[in-house]
């Protein structure tokens, strides 16, 4: 697997050349490289990682190439950090302050200038282009992304994931896995600006309707402290803030941070119409 990843890396770009031997990591020893952060990557069905330093004198750039089981999971890992300038490299890429994040096929690539500025931007972008040109497969975005209502959706705010650990990294709900998220669930989260009001939408696809229903009931009972009497609930959770959630078939969707009960209801309805 290491050889497969190593074949993607050029020997030299601009003034930068490979320095030292590349380091390889798999599911068993990822913790050795990402101490404290490995669980997040494993939640996306991570397979292997290659880390290679490039140097030009005292200057240094680090390349990380992550191979994931599916292109959807590679996108999911990429989606966690989409800040910066959109760059036309691979399937999706963004660059800012000496950091290039790149998604192509089953691969997520991170290229970093350890000084955190733009002085090596040309070399970083060239490295990205060289690597992605050797990845022949194009990635496919998760289909669930297309179910997010487009109106008011803040660009590059869409996150894709499966498990509770990622959700809590994005928006902490509870220590307990109230929504029963696991490897068989798919979830997207997006940030919205509706007029002057911000809200967050969490949309979850369960393997079947009974799993969705039990998660809906569990969230209502334990988070909102109400008994679910219908398939849609809007509940005031604190001063001027509402949580809305709705259930249909194997889908469950929840809004957070809304400050308007009526707009919450309209938005929940828009999501339902998008799912049909």
Confidence (pLDDT) at 103: 98
Q: Exposure pattern of 153-190 as b/e (b: 16+ CB <10 Å)?
A: beebbbbbbbbbebbebeeebeeebbbbbeeebbbbbb
Distance separating alpha carbons of residues 41 and 43, to the nearest angstrom: 5
Interval 122-139: pLDDT, tens: 999 999 999 999 999 999
220: its two tokens:
């209502």
- Contact in structure between 153 and 159 (CB atoms under 8 Å): no
Interval 232-261: pLDDT, tens: 999 999 888 999 999 999 999 999 999 999
pTM of the model: 0.94
Based on the number of CB atoms within 10 Å of its own CB, is 244 exposed (0-12), middle (13-18) or buried (19 or more)? buried
Which CATH code fits 143-275? 3.40.1000
Number of neighbours of residue 22 by Cβ within 10 angstroms: 16
Distance separating alpha carbons of residues 108 and 132, to the nearest angstrom: 10
Nearest alpha carbon to residue 24 among 43, 9, 39 = 9
Interval 74-122: pLDDT, tens: 999 999 999 999 999 999 999 999 999 999 999 999 999 977 778 999 9
Give the start-to-end residue ranges of the domains of the chain.
2-133, 143-275
Interval 169-218: pLDDT, tens: 999 999 999 999 999 999 999 999 999 999 999 999 999 999 999 999 99
Question: Fold match between 2-133 and 143-275?
Answer: yes
Of the candidate CATH numbers 3.40.50, 3.40.1000, 2.40.128, 1.10.3470, the domain formed by 2-133 belongs to: 3.40.1000
Nearest alpha carbon to residue 211 among 177, 256, 160, 165 = 177
Number of neighbours of residue 13 by Cβ within 10 angstroms: 24
């Amino acid at each position: 697997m290491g050889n497969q990843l190593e074949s993607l890396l050029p020997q030299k770009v601009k003034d930068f050349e490979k320095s030292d031997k590349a380091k390889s990591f798999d599911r068993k020893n990822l913790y050795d490289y990402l101490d404290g952060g490995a669980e997040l990557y494993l939640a996306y069905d991570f397979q292997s990682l290659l880390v290679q330093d490039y140097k030009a004198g005292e200057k240094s750039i680090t390349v990380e190439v992550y191979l994931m089981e599916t292109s959807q999971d590679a996108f999911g890992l990429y989606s966690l950090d989409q800040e910066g300038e959109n760059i036309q490299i691979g399937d999706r890429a963004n660059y800012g302050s000496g950091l290039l994040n790149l998604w192509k096929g089953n691969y997520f690539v991170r290229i970093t200038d350890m000084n955190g500025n733009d002085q090596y931007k040309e070399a970083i972008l060239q490295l990205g282009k060289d690597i992605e040109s050797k990845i022949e497969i194009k990635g496919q975005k998760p289909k669930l992304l297309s179910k997010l209502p487009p109106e008011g959706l803040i660009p590059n705010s869409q996150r894709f994931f499966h498990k509770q650990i990622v959700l809590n990294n994005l928006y902490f709900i509870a220590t307990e896995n109230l929504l029963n998220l696991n490897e068989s669930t798919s979830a997207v989260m997006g940030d919205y600006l509706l007029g002057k009001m911000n809200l967050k939408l969490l949309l979850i696809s369960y393997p079947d309707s009974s799993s969705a229903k039990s998660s809906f009931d569990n969230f209502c009972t334990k988070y909102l402290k109400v008994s679910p009497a219908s398939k849609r609930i809007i509940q005031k959770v604190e001063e001027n803030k509402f949580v809305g959630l709705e259930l249909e078939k194997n889908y469950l969707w929840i809004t957070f941070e809304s400050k308007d009960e009526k707009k919450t209801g309209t938005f929940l309805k828009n999501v339902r119409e998008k799912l049909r």
